A and B are shown apart, each in its own frame.
Chain A
């Protein structure tokens, strides 16, 4: 089973709202990732969690706040977003972070976010 699940599938929010995106995997993977993908562009890495600790933050604005409550769950808390933050937000996981053959990343279906 190589399934990564994400909720919600779609989210529309105003610039003053607070919302959260959720990601879950039960493959025993110890690395989890958040990516942002704009239309017709490749995924852009935002955050990497390695063994439940934040290991990479790609200079993401503080209005995006990741959280990894346990090895199976990854959240992305959103607050005071801008319309240009509208995108597909993808979660991914891999067996180990940045470790050769075992870092094959499996993506979830994504949350399509619209900020009004």
Chain B
């Protein structure tokens, strides 16, 4: 079945440093979605990428979808303490359910 691998599992950074999490799928995806879950909270939708090579930005967050539509990344520039949480990617092949990555838990030291 479809698998989505996400690395790293944990990332500790100093405030102001950059952060990147990566997702790789065993199969070509029709789209990929990113979610953020704060400690004690629920997953909150951030963005969806659909097109090959797509790049989208939300303030300090940059999302990329690979040319082959099998990998994606989320990059945060100059992290802040408000960025703390677990970031999940979730990929979908055509007509199938979302498959979540294991998530990257980000901690930011002030």
Contacts and interface: CB of A to CB of B under 8 A. Distances in A.
A104 B33 contact: yes
Interface residues of B, number: 24
Interface string B83-110: 0001010101001111011110100000
Contacts of B100: 42-43
A90 interface: yes
B97 A48 contact: yes
B31 A100 contact: yes
Contact of A41 (B44, B48, B102): B102
A105 B50 contact: no
A106 interface: yes
User: Which 3 residue pairs across A and B have the least CB separation, nearest first?
Assistant: A42-B100, A107-B43, A107-B42
Interface of B: 30-31, 33, 35, 41-45, 48, 50, 86, 88, 90, 92, 95-98, 100-103, 105
B97 A90 contact: no
Interface string A1-16: 0100000000000000
Contacts of B101: 42
